[in-house]
Chains A and B, each alone.
Chain A
Amino acid sequence: QKEVEQNSGPLSVPEGAIASLNCTYSDRGSQSFFWYRQYSGKSPELIMFIYSNGDKEDGRFTAQLNKASQYVSLLIRDSQPSDSATYLCAVSGDDKIIFGKGTRLHILP
């Protein structure tokens, strides 16, 4: 069965520091990788997607993909209290998408 694994946390990071979120997946045929942010009581919203090995940067966010090791990560630089949320990793291939359980991130003021 295809799986997406994330550490449930909570991950506590001081304000201004770098938050590092990790995700591993089991299906080597996976093609697309997404990071969603979900505030408590709200629906998920897309932060970034990545398709190719390497890094992809968007503002304070950097997604990193290593298909050989089957992991994808999200770095958040200069963490802000507003970044406190659950971060969902989603992996898709063959028209199917699977979400991880999410990592709770808490930015300490």
Chain B
Amino acid sequence: EAGVAQSPRYKIIEKRQSVAFWCNPISGHATLYWYQQILGQGPKLLIQFQNNGVVDDSQLPKDRFSAERLKGVDSTLKIQPAKLEDSAVYLCASSAGLAGGQETQYFGPGTRLLVL
């Protein structure tokens, strides 16, 4: 079974530029998550999708971050414009069930973003 795929693996941009990340979850997984992990900290949930609907985006900085999950499969996360403090690893995860509460999440390899 293929795991969660993410691209690109690394990205370096200058502040105020835009960047987009892509995630392809495990086939058949209904729930998809985007996390931000700053060095030395645990993952922070940015947004959670159930199929193509948003379950939780309370910690997503909506003035600069946006995400979509068209057709309930792949997802993209965009930052526009980027700030220095956005430098982090962006992790995508997926789980099988309709609700995230008791489902095991499987993580992709992450995208390392450096904003200069």
Binding site for A on B (CB under 8 A): 33, 35, 40-45, 48, 55-56, 91, 99-102, 104-110
Contact = CB atoms under 8 A, between A and B. Distances in A.
Given A88-B42, A100-B42, A101-B41, A95 B105 contact: no
Interface residues of A, number: 25
Contacts of B33: 97
Interface of A: 4, 6, 8, 31-32, 34, 42-46, 49, 51, 88, 92-102
Contacts of B101: 31-32, 92-97
B43 A44 contact: yes
A93 to B, nearest CB: 6
| Interface residues of B, dominant DSSP | loop
A31 B102 contact: yes
Contacts of B48: 95-96
Contacts of B35: 99
A96 B104 contact: no
A34 B42 contact: no
Contact of A97 (B100, B106, B107, B108): B100
Given A43-B91, A101-B41, A34 B100 contact: no
Contacts of B108: 43
A79 B29 CA distance: 34
B100 A96 contact: yes
A45 B105 CA distance: 9
A32 B95 CA distance: 14
A4 to B, nearest CB: 8
A102 B91 CA distance: 16
A49 B43 CA distance: 17
14 contacts: A31-B101, A42-B109, A44-B91, A44-B107, A45-B107, A49-B104, A92-B102, A93-B101, A95-B99, A96-B45, A99-B44, A101-B40, A101-B41, A102-B41
B30 to A, nearest CB: 12
Nearest to A99: B42
Contact of A99 (B43, B55, B56, B106): B43
